[in-house]
Amino acid sequence: MQKFLHLDSPTGQYQSDAAVVACFDNRFDAALRKLLKRLGIERPDVIRIAGGAKALASPEPEFERHVVVDQVRKSINLHQTARALLILHSDCGAYGGIERRFDSSRDAEVACYEGEFRKAAAVLAELFPGIEVACYYIDFLGVWEVRRFR
């Protein structure tokens, strides 16, 4: 094995600022980074899965929910995480895309996602009492805070 890149990564344990459940769609990476920076989240435990919070609200297949819940549990147990950010974004392929699933209607997409956020937050609240959950919708124009749950 030959060293490819030198790093000076911290070796100690850390406390995570939030478990972040987000889609792996690269179009929204910059928005996600800016959101985390705006919220002052320097040490996120980022859980990337197609559809993001969809995996908690309406997973296809069901085991996706178990995977994400397990990752949030590990974030809590290993890094004392006290809050979760649930992210959904416009034109998500896991939902079928805005054109196909929502007939290009942002209002229909947002209405669906609001219900999905409620379901996803309820899953976390039931399994992890006391966790703070904040939900954010990202579209091509910005980031929208949808709701906070306690």
Identify the CATH number of the domain in which residue 127 sits.
3.40.1050.10
Q: How do residues 40-76 score in pLDDT, each as one tens digit?
A: 999 999 999 999 999 999 999 999 999 999 999 999 9
In this predicted structure, the answer to whether residue 150 has a pLDDT above a threshold of 80 is no
Quote the number of domains for the chain: 1
In this predicted structure, the answer to whether residue 149 has a pLDDT above a threshold of 80 is no
In the structure, what pLDDT confidence band is assigned to residue 36 with cuts at 50, 70 and 90? very high
Residue 61, domain member (yes or no)? yes
Residue 80, domain member (yes or no)? yes
| Domain boundaries, position 78 | 18-149
Residue 88, domain member (yes or no)? yes
Question: The whole model's pTM is what?
Answer: 0.94
Residue 2, domain member (yes or no)? no
What is the Cα–Cα distance from 143 to 54, expressed in whole angstroms? 17
What is the Cα–Cα distance from 4 to 25, expressed in whole angstroms? 27
Residue 11, domain member (yes or no)? no
Task: Using a pLDDT cut of 70, give the percent of the chain over it.
Answer: 99
Give the three-state DSSP class for 115: helix
